[in-house]
Chains A and B, each alone.
Chain A
Amino acid sequence: MSLTTILLALILGILFGFALNKAGLTRYTKIVNQFRFKDMSVLKFMMTALVVSMLGLYPLRAMGLITFPSVPETYVVGNVVGGLIFGVGMALAGFCPGTAAAGAGEGKLDYLIPGMLGFLTGAVLFGLTYSSIMPQIKKIADLGPVVIPDLWNLNSFLTVAVFALMALALFYAIDRMGLQRGEKKSK
């Protein structure tokens, strides 16, 4: 790894962690209350990030200035089952690998010590059991590293525009139509 790459990764990571901190996602309450629909910050944060990025990346790709790097692989069952297990951990603990790293930097020792040790242990366990579970899971409905407009042969600008409109409709439903639930009065 060159020094430039190291510095670049460090700066990008710092900006990412900074955004997580300012969005308040380094807190148990913010994460779990998303699943209770009492605080919609996670969804707003994620959807805004997705729309802003795709509005930049798709035109850049169409102009031939970039290609998409390491597109995540779609293997339907694994993506869904992984997500299902992930959601349980996220709602119980109230963090995920990224928010835990940023939270650890804020001085949260519970994120830094048991959190980081947990992630490392999980990663070791995954690596050691990889061969006995993953090749089979990856074979089911395996579409490879693909993006929706290419997969379904859609106009990519239209797809991005539809996605952006869906996000705006979601924000409208949250902020104006009461999709967010109120906090019940505690006894």
Chain B
Amino acid sequence: MNWLKKQLSKELWSPYMAGALLGIVGILTVILAHALLGASGGFENVAGYIGKAIDPKNVYFNYIMPTGITYSVVLLIGIFFGGMLGALSSGTFKFRRMDDQQWKKAYGKQTWKRWLLLFLGGIVLEYAAGIAGGCTSGLAISGGMLLAPAAFLFIGGMFASGIVTALIVYGKKY
């Protein structure tokens, strides 16, 4: 019991241990919900409200990706509270506008810069997930655990361009 308490209050776990937990959750998701884990799909379900307001006859939001508070949206809300629970358990929950030291070294200290880049980054990530058929959660992890080729094609692309992008951003400091 004490061991468990100690683990729960730790800020960081070994990535192997956290990964094993995610693996078990992945199995449970298939058995209990007959579904997969994911994140980008939930944003699409909510975005449908805006998309259909702009274009009521839109094919995607009417026929392909249903609009509404779906399983994916509830899952996304769960992820939010899971992050909160994790932070509360280690006493690291705190409202903050930006806190990453390495980010400040790479891009500067201005908050607006980070907020702008996260907004633009969010657009790029979600659009790319749409093209690929999922994001790191729904495609790379959920597809990977089923051994779907799509997952590994996606992971390969993601690492290739991620490495090049980090090289450009960090330059000599890479």
Contacts and interface: CB of A to CB of B under 8 A. Distances in A.
Contacts, number: 508
Interface in B111-129: 111, 114-129
Interface of B: 10-13, 15-40, 42-44, 46-48, 50-51, 54-55, 58-61, 64-65, 69-71, 74-87, 92-103, 105-106, 111, 114-151, 153-163, 165-166, 169-170, 173-174
A82 B103 CA distance: 25
Interface of A: 1, 5-6, 8-24, 26-29, 32-36, 40-42, 44-57, 60, 65-66, 68-76, 78-111, 113-128, 130-131, 133-134, 137, 143, 145-149, 151, 159-160, 163, 171, 184, 186
B74 A10 contact: yes
A21 B169 CA distance: 25
A167 B153 CA distance: 17
Contacts of B122: 89, 93, 100, 114-122
A148 B82 CA distance: 32
B102 A28 contact: yes
Contact of A90 (B74, B76, B139, B162): B162
10 contacts: A5-B33, A57-B27, A86-B135, A91-B169, A106-B94, A110-B115, A117-B122, A128-B51, A130-B60, A147-B148
Nearest to B106: A32
A97 B83 contact: no
A106 B93 contact: yes
